[in-house]
Structure 1
Amino acid sequence: MKKVYYLKTCSTCIRILKELNLSTEFILQDIKTEAITVKQLEEMKALAGSYEALFSKRAKLYKEMDLKNQALKEKDYKHYLLEHYTFLSRPVFVIDNDIFIGNSKKTVEAVKAAL
């Protein structure tokens, strides 16, 4: 399976998608209009190793909700990831049995190498 979880309104996500020039084999899922399901999140967690690995600590809501001062557990990360799309570190590329999370230059280069 080749899939990208992204945000259509995120200029960084759009820039990365254009830069990668993905084939039509990829399924693009705008997580704002098509929410992540429990099954999808569990599949991503299985590849990533934890819900925390998928969680964005740079999200505006993370700061607003003062989550950095709370001792979050895996079940909390899962809850917040399912509750609001902004908590997913974007974009997330799933290419067969590999997952690439976030928008760092290193991650984008790894996706290019996997293509």
Structure 2
Amino acid sequence: MKKIYYLSTCSTCIRILNELDGLLSEFELQDIKNEKITPNQIEEMHALSGSYESLFSRRAMKYKSLGLGAKNLSEDDYKNYILEEYTFLKRPIFVIGDKIFVGNSAKTVEAIKSELTNN
């Protein structure tokens, strides 16, 4: 499977997609604002990443407004927040076969490029 979970209104996601444009022809793109993450999808991401916390974005505006930084969140909490509100999913997420790449750090983008050019 080759899939990208992204947010079409996120300039960082769009920049990364543009940067990788020539390498993405076989990918299915899912704009998480217009097509919600399903429980099955979050389970698949969890199986690849090893934790819901690794998929959770602490940069979401709601993270601060809900005071989540002061709470001790469990794995189930992370999962439920991601399913309830798309902004809690760290993005973009690239699923390439049995590998997952989460987030927008330069290191992650380089790892994606490397994976795509070596296959």
Give the shorter-chain TM-score range: over 0.9
Write the deviation string for residues 56-99 of structure 1: whole angstroms up to 9, x where unpaired. 01111001000010010000001000000000000000000000
Alignment partners' CA distance in 2, 1:91 and 1:82: 16
TM-score with structure 1 length normalisation?
0.98
Matched, 1:11 2:7: no
Letter in 2 for 1:92: I
Alignment of 1:93-112 (within 5 A): 93-112=94-113
Identity of aligned residues (%): 65
1:20 corresponds in structure 2 to 20
Alignment partners' CA distance in 2, 1:6 and 1:45: 17
Q: What's the offset of the Cα at 1:113?
A: 0.4
Structure 1: which 5+ residue stretches go unaligned? none
CA-atom RMSD in angstroms: 0.6
Structure 2: which 5+ residue stretches go unaligned? none
Alignment partners' CA distance in 1, 2:6 and 2:96: 14
Alignment partners' CA distance in 1, 2:72 and 2:10: 29
Alignment partners' CA distance in 2, 1:89 and 1:75: 16
Runs of 4+ in 1 over 6 A off after TM superposition: none
Number of matched pairs: 115
Write the deviation string for residues 41-60 of structure 1: whole angstroms up to 9, x where unpaired. 00000000000000001111
Alignment of 1:68-87 (within 5 A): 68-87=69-88
Alignment partners' CA distance in 2, 1:34 and 1:61: 19
1:57 corresponds in structure 2 to 58
Alignment partners' CA distance in 2, 1:59 and 1:34: 18
TM-score with structure 2 length normalisation?
0.95
Q: What's the offset of the Cα at 1:23?
A: 2.8
